[in-house]
Structure 1
Amino acid sequence: MSTPKPRNAQQGLALLEALVASAVLGIGLAGATRLTLHALQTASDTRQHSLATTLAAQAMDCLQSGRHGCAITHPITVQGTPYTITHQLRERPGLALMDVTVQVQWPLKGRAHVGTSRQANSPAEQGNGLMVLHSSIDQVPAWLSVSSP
């Protein structure tokens, strides 16, 4: 015949099972929390990148249209993030073209700075986001190519 286990041993085993279950639950919750924080950071980065793309496209449109008074050389702050817009116009020698470059730079919030042990070279290594658009403008007046039938 088998002898029944003492009641204290069964209670000790139940306590051990509860401890293991709590540890597994804690590890799962820590992983879920980390995943949620990463998703929030990615959403913030995507919003900042989309806004930088919009600002760069607006600046490029203004420059290509030839309008005067395009306010694209001052910093812009949107939802607490400062964006710096710069542009460069460069003529191509021997051609009636002008190269246009628009650059938007902003600080990446909540990201660890890369390159702490060496000199940071690129804007991403300095903790900055960067959006660059390139285009060309035809310097020949539009009316010049119009011919009458």
Structure 2
Amino acid sequence: MKAASAKCRAPGQPSHANSGRTAQGMALIEALVASAVLGIGLAAATRLTLHTLLTASETRQHTVALALALDAMDCLQSSRSGCSLQAPTTVQGTTYRIQSQVQTRSGLALEDLQVRVQWPTVGPTLGATGGGFGGNSTGQAQPRMGELTLHSSRDAVPVWLGVSLP
């Protein structure tokens, strides 16, 4: 009876008669591994693309802030009367806060000029100071602020006291 239930095979037939199923199983495993590797590669490419976009946006914001700071510094150095010392400016959806300060040095005929531009930066705020994590976190992300400061000096001699040619 035992011999009747066993599969009959010819003496020259290999013992791995189910090799077709094994090959199909290995092909499925290879496809799953290839899909996992492809998924990891796509995730890395997506992360790299996002990082590149954030870097480009931060560079654009810094360039705009530098242009605004240089304009404000030129206005202060020329001693024009129309220079506003504090003015918010919105460029391409980002609000830049410009602060200018003029201080006279005692004992010298010099004035120190300072222009500071602040703006909210783009990108993730987790891990930034005051936001996301920490003991005093309120659970709300605080926007990171970019800042650019320019310093210069000018003479405090009145314009009417210019040098005349002989």
- Shorter-chain TM-score: what band? 0.7 to 0.9
Tell me the distance in 1 between the aligned counterparts of 2:19 and 2:135: 64
TM-score, normalization by structure 1: 0.87
Q: Deviations over 1:81-126 (max 9, x none)?
A: 000000110000000000000000000122315123267xxxxx96
- Is 133-142 or 90-99 further displaced after alignment? 133-142
Rg larger in 1 or in 2? 2
Instruction: Report the residue type matching 1:138 in the other structure.
Output: D
Find the counterpart in structure 2 of residue 136 from structure 1.
Answer: 153
Partner Cα separation in structure 1 for residue 20 and residue 35 of structure 2: 23
- The answer on 1:98 being equivalent to 2:111 is yes
Distance between the aligned counterparts of 1:94 and 1:21, measured in 2?
A: 76
**Structure 1: unaligned runs, 5 residues or longer:** 120-124
Query: Please, what is the CA RMSD of the aligned residues?
Result: 2.3
> What are the equivalent positions in structure 2 for 1:1-149 lying under 5 Å apart?
3=14, 6-71=19-84, 73-113=86-126, 114-115=128-129, 116=131, 117=134, 127-141=144-158, 144-148=162-166
Give the TM-score normalised by the residue count of structure 2.
Answer: 0.78
Q: Where is the helix percentage greater, Structure 1 or Structure 2? A: 1
SS of aligned partner of 2:65: helix
Query: Unpaired segments of 5 or more residues in structure 2?
Result: 1-11, 137-141
